[in-house]
Amino acid sequence: MNKPSIVRRHSEATARTYILLPVSPLWVYSTIAVAYVLNISRLSAPVWAPDFLAVTLAFWSIREKRITGLLLPFLLGLLMDVFDSAVLGQHALSYTFLCYFANLLERRIPWFSSPGQALHLLPIFLLTQGIVLFVSIWMGGEFPGWLWFTQSLTNALLWPIASYLLLIPQRRTQNRADTPI
C-alpha cells in the first residue's frame, strides 16, 4: 500500500527569483562613497561597530569585480589610514586582501542564502581585521583585546541587510508579460 507523501513541494508560482538588471557604475561608486562617509563618521566609533567600507567593498568585489578591481580598495584603504592616523598602508593592505579573497569566492558566494554568504565571509572579515592588528602591533601598538574582533562578527551580521539594500536598484520593478524571461 502506498503511503501519501508528506513532502511539500514548493510551487513555482510562489518562488521568488530575480533576474537582476545591469549595475550602474555610478551606483557602485556612490554606495562606496556613502560607506566611506559612514566609516569616518561617529557611527564607527565603538569597537563593535561594523566597517561599512569593508562590507561594501566585499559585496561589489563579489558582484562586480570589473568595476572595483584591486586599486580602488587600496586607495580607499590609504584614505582610511590617513583619517585614522594609522600606519600608512595597513587598511590599504587589508582592503586589498579582502577584495582579493572576495574575488576568489565570486562564483561560490551567490549560490548561498544571505546568512550562508555571511558565514563564508566571516573568515575573510576576520583575516582583514587580523592584518590591521598585525601591522599595528608590528609597528609598536598594543593588543586591544579579543573584543576587538567583534567588528568582524558585526560585519557578517550586517551582510544580509547590506546585500539586500545594495541590490535594490538592480531588481526589476515588475514582471511584464511581454518580456521573454
Q: Digits of tens for pLDDT over the chain (181 positions)?
A: 444 434 333 434 444 556 788 889 999 999 999 999 999 987 667 888 899 999 999 999 999 989 999 999 999 999 999 998 888 999 999 999 999 999 999 999 989 999 999 999 999 999 999 999 999 999 988 898 888 899 999 999 999 999 999 998 888 666 666 565 5
- CA-nearest of 121, 118, 104, 26 to 70 is 104
The set of residues, in sequence order, having a beta carbon less than 8 Å from that of 144 and lying 6+ positions away, is 47, 133
Q: What cell does 118 get?
A: 555571511
- For residue 19, being part of any structural domain is answered with no
Answer whether 48's CB lies under 8 Å from 92's CB.
no
Structurally, how many domains does the chain consist of? 1
Structural domain harbouring 80: 25-170
- For residue 161, being part of any structural domain is answered with yes
What does the alpha-carbon distance between residue 73 and residue 66 come to, in Å, rounded to a whole number? 13
Identify the DSSP state of 64. -
What does the alpha-carbon distance between residue 128 and residue 69 come to, in Å, rounded to a whole number? 17
- For residue 98, being part of any structural domain is answered with yes
